[in-house]
Structure formats: structure tokens, C-alpha cells
Amino acid sequence: MQQLDKKTTYRVLIASLVGSSIEWFDYFLYGTMAALVFNQLFFVNEDPTVGLLLAYASFALSFFIRPFGGIIFSHIGDRIGRKKTLVLTLSLMGAATFAMGILPTYQAIGVAAPIILITLRLIQGLGIGGEWGGALLLATEYAPPERRGFFGSIPQMGVTIGMVMGTLALWLMSLLPEQQFMTWGWRVPFIFSALLVVFGLWIRKGIDETPEFKDVQQKGEIPKLPIVDTLRYYWKEVLITIGAKVVETAPFYIFSTFIVSYATSTLGFSRSAVLGSVMISTVITTILIPIMGSLSDRVGRKKMYIAGTLAMMAFAFPYFWMIHQGSVLMLVLATIIGLGIIWAPITAVLGTMFSEIFDAKVRYTGVSLGYQIGAAVAGGTAPLVATALLASFDNSYIPVALYIMFTAVVSLIAIWAVKSRVEPTVVTGKISSAK
């Protein structure tokens, strides 16, 4: 691995972070709007619960298209290069989000409105399906072995930075009178995202291909069909990444998306209080992610992940008990503990852990496929499952808490299968990936 100068290091880290942040900013806008706006303006139904379920279903639908985006763009990434793929994914995502901002509502064009909205959401899913793997590999494949955990945590910050930007934008717009917010205020963040996309493309323009991809090119080891080689030789690793992703993604969407609707409609909290608690928590976890990533370079990825997963399991019931106290302070504290602190070590090491499982020639395909299938199975469905559980069990939170605990068990089983394949070996202060 070549030694990076400071300028190149900063450029690589910023490029992996900026694009990821913009992608997730666009993506989370939809998730929050599904709970606040789209159930009224696009998925119109006489029963508000049905409208909300339809909105959440459209939110979940894009998660199932994400693996296809991962396959399409990881094929390009493993065949042509990481950089070119990242330009494509960012452009696709930005165009779809901007179009959402100018889309007429159901009241204006009828059933065509939700159909077009779902189509744009699917395009978002394709873009994000290819973006994450590329942003991760841009960081980890440039990283010195002893700092891979830190480098790999940087694109993970994009998830929470994008969420902070999205939540902040919505919070500012929610200060408008309700009629103005529902008429045009909700559109502003979607339209504004176009400027962010231009900035992201400019940042990525000056980045070269990763050293590890260049090495594969020089050796002539680029596979003709990366997806075939991945499923033939690395299917166990794909299953591990799917399972390990579950506890990172399902509780995240419970704490950040489901809570917006649940706390406002069922528990009587104001929209600004809920959005504020989520924003504070995401700021905290954004600060903690690189710290946890750096710590994993010293103590090991697996130990960090298991500690976070066990804590997530233990906090499932206390979380709901706290938010049911009716206190804004307890709501904020519960969200900070769950989303801001417990979730941080899990997500910080996840990407690096995945990248260390796969060989460089199929790494883009392997990490994208496992990550996106895991997200589809557990992430997009989480708000839908939680809402359905509440409806089925007379608004009792016990089944939802048990669901969070179940996701932790699934991921613990998966991480057990990893054994020593991604544990760093510490030698005289240096760390190398053991396989």
C-alpha cells in the first residue's frame, strides 16, 4: 500500500463522505416525508392508518430495488472502476430527488402522482444501491492497513450527516404555518438537493481510481461477470453480510423514521420535538462514528460490533418505556442513547468489516449485494413492520421491542460465522487484516 500524503488523504476522505452524505440526505427526505406529508398528498385514503401504511410501503419498496442497483453499479465498479460508478450513482440520485420536489400531488393529477412518486423512489433506490459500496471502497482501498477502521467509518458518517441535513431542512420548513408547509414548504429541501449534487460531483472529479482496483487491473484479474463469481465463490460471505446488516438497519429506522409518526400521532409529541430529538442524536452519533472506527483499529472490528449489538438488545424495552413517559426530555434522552450512542459502534465498523471479507476483484459486488439485501430485508420494512405490529396488538409496544431484540439475535448469529476472518491482528502497533 502506497503511503498517502495529507492532501490526497483529505481529498479521498472528503470525496467518500460528501457523496454519501448527499445520497442519504436525498434518501431520508423521502422517509420523513412519508410519515408527515406523502400519506396526505399522494397516498390519499379515507382511513389515515391505511394512508400511512401505503406511504411506508412506498418507503420499503425502494429497499427491495437497492440490491438491483447494487448489482448493476457494482458490476460497473468491479469492471470499469470505482470513481466512474460513483459519478453515475450521485447523478441518478440527485435527478430523482429534484423531480420529487416539483411533482404535482394527487389532488392535481390523480393516481398518476403516487405512480410517478414510486417510480422516482425506485430510481433513488437504484442510485443508493450502488453508491454505498463505492464510497466505502474509495475510503478503505486507499487506507493504510493500520487505519482501515478509521477510513472505513468516514463514509458511514454520510448516513448521519445526510440525516442531519434532511432533518434540519425539514425542521426549518416545519416552522412555516401548516398550510404553507403542506403546499410548498416540503418541496424546498428536494429542490435544494440539486445544488448539493453539483458540489459532490465537483469534489469527486479530482479523485483517481483506488490503488487496489488498479492492482487488479494490472494483474488482469477483472472478472467478466462479478456477480457470478461472487455467488459462486463468496456466497457464504454474502449471507454473513446480510445477517450482520440486520441489527444495524432495522433499529436505526425504528429510532429515526418510525418514531416520527408514532411519537406524534400516538404519544402526542409535537413534530418539532421529535425531529429535534432525532437531529440531536444524529449529531452525536456522527461525532462518535470516526472515534469508534479508530478504536476498532486497536481492539478489533468484531468486538466493537458485538458490544453494540448486545447493548441494542438490552435497550429495546427501556427505549419504549422512556418515550412513553410523555416527557420531551425522556424522548430526547432515549433517542440519544439508542440512535446516538448504541448504534454508533455497530455502523462504524460494519463497512470495514464487510470490505475485509471479500477479495478486491469482486469486493464492490460482494459488499453491495450483502449490504443492500440486508437493508431490503430489515431496513425498509422496519417502519412498516412496527406500524403493523402496533395495529395488530392494540398499540402495545412490546412486540416492537421484541422485534428489535430479534434483529440483534440474527446479527449475533451472523457475526459468529465470521470467526477470525475480519479480526485485525495487532503486531508491534500495526494492524493487518487476518484472513
The residue extents of the domains of the chain are 6-417
Query: Is the distance from CB of 395 to CB of 107 less than 8 angstroms?
Result: no
DSSP string, 82-99: HHHHHHHHHHHHHHHHHH
C-alpha cell at 173: 420548513
Count CA within 13 A, CB hemisphere, residue 133: 40
Phi first, then psi, for residue 47 (nearest 5°) are: -95, 115
Confidence category of residue 435, pLDDT binned at 50, 70, 90: very low
Contacts of 172 (CB under 8 A, 6+ apart): none
pLDDT tens column, 275-298: 889 889 989 999 999 999 999 999
Contacts of 183 (CB under 8 A, 6+ apart): none
C-alpha cell at 427: 503486531
pTM of the model: 0.81
Query: Is the distance from CB of 153 to CB of 289 less than 8 angstroms?
Result: yes
Phi first, then psi, for residue 208 (nearest 5°) are: -85, 170
So what's the pLDDT on residue 45? 66
252/187 Cα distance (integer angstroms) = 25
Q: Of the spans 262-271, 384-393, 400-409, which averages the highest pLDDT?
A: 400-409
So what's the pLDDT on residue 240? 92
Query: Is the distance from CB of 142 to CB of 12 less than 8 angstroms?
Result: yes
* Mean pLDDT score, 199-222: 81
223/228 Cα distance (integer angstroms) = 9
So what's the pLDDT on residue 46? 57
DSSP 8-class letter at 432: E
350/367 Cα distance (integer angstroms) = 10
Average pLDDT across the chain, whole number:
85
Q: Of the spans 36-45, 47-56, 323-332, 361-370, which averages the highest pLDDT?
A: 323-332
**426 three-state secondary structure:** strand
Query: Is the distance from CB of 17 to CB of 157 less than 8 angstroms?
Result: yes
So what's the pLDDT on residue 47? 64
Whose cell is 440526505? That residue is: 25
Confidence category of residue 344, pLDDT binned at 50, 70, 90: very high
Domain 6-417 superfamily per CATH:
MFS general substrate transporter like domains (1.20.1250.20)
Question: Burial, 177: exposed, middle or buried (Cβ in 10 Å; 0-12, 13-18, 19+)?
Answer: exposed
Residue 370 has pLDDT above 80, yes or no: yes
Residue 330 has pLDDT above 90, yes or no: yes
The number of residues in the chain equals 435
